[in-house]
């Protein structure tokens, strides 16, 4: 009596290997895409914080007018710097100056409705100076106003 020896894989084994390989590739792809999206969001926030720090610098030195609201106004206030008109992702931003609180408003598309895209504004402020980190925000504003009045 002679036993038949199997050579190669049977169809169910080959299908199982293909399915497991496909699942592993999709799992690696999903983790990679999440990391790429996270890095893109982090770089966009870093860029908007940089622009917010330029706005804060220009406002504190009196170079920015109270009615400034666009990137062109910021470029006029700081002519020696190249100020982008939009963020690198193509998002539009505008400047808001309210009660000595300069900030940047970044428009983010939140979704779509029947009449078009829904855009919400994300508020970005410049990082606080190290000297103001240990005191409350309202006290830092008072000290800044006292310092400006003395000058």
Task: Tell me the percentage of the chain whose pLDDT exceeds 70.
Answer: 85
Give the residue with greater pLDDT, 94 vs 89: 94
φ, ψ of residue 40 in degrees (nearest 5): -65, -45
What value does the CA radius of gyration of the chain take, rounded to a whole number of Å?
27
Tens of pLDDT, residue by residue over 20-74, are 999 999 999 888 888 888 888 888 888 888 888 888 888 888 888 777 788 888 8
For the CA atoms of 31, 36, 40, 46, the dihedral, rounded to the nearest 10 degrees, stands at 80
The predicted structure's pLDDT at residue 3: 65
Q: Is the pLDDT of residue 18 over 90?
A: yes
SS3 112: strand
HSE-up of 50 (CA within 13 Å, CB side)? Answer: 13
The predicted structure's pLDDT at residue 33: 85
Identify the residue whose tokens are 């290997």.
Answer: 17
Other residues' Cβ atoms within 10 Å of the Cβ of residue 81: 11
Q: Is the pLDDT of residue 7 over 70?
A: yes
What's this model's pTM, rounded to 2 decimal places? 0.63
Burial class from Cβ neighbours inside 10 Å (0-12, 13-18, 19+) for residue 66 reads exposed
SS3 78: coil
User: Do residues 107 and 121 make contact, with C-beta atoms less than 8 angstroms apart?
Assistant: yes
The single-letter DSSP state of residue 86 is B
């Amino acid at each position: 009596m002679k036993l038949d020896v199997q050579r190669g894989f049977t169809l169910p084994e080959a299908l199982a290997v293909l399915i497991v390989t496909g699942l592993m590739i999709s799992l690696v792809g999903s983790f990679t895409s999440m990391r790429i999206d996270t890095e893109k969001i982090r770089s966009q926030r870093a860029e908007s914080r940089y622009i917010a720090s330029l706005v804060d610098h220009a406002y504190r030195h009196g170079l920015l007018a109270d009615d400034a609201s666009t990137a062109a106004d910021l470029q006029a206030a700081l002519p020696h710097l190249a100020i982008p008109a939009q963020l690198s992702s193509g998002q539009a931003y505008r400047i808001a100056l309210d009660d000595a609180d300069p900030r940047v408003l970044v428009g983010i598309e939140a979704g779509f409705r029947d009449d078009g895209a829904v855009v919400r504004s994300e508020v970005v402020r410049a990082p606080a100076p190290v000297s103001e980190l240990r005191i409350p925000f309202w006290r830092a504003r008072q000290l800044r106003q006292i310092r400006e009045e003395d000058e």
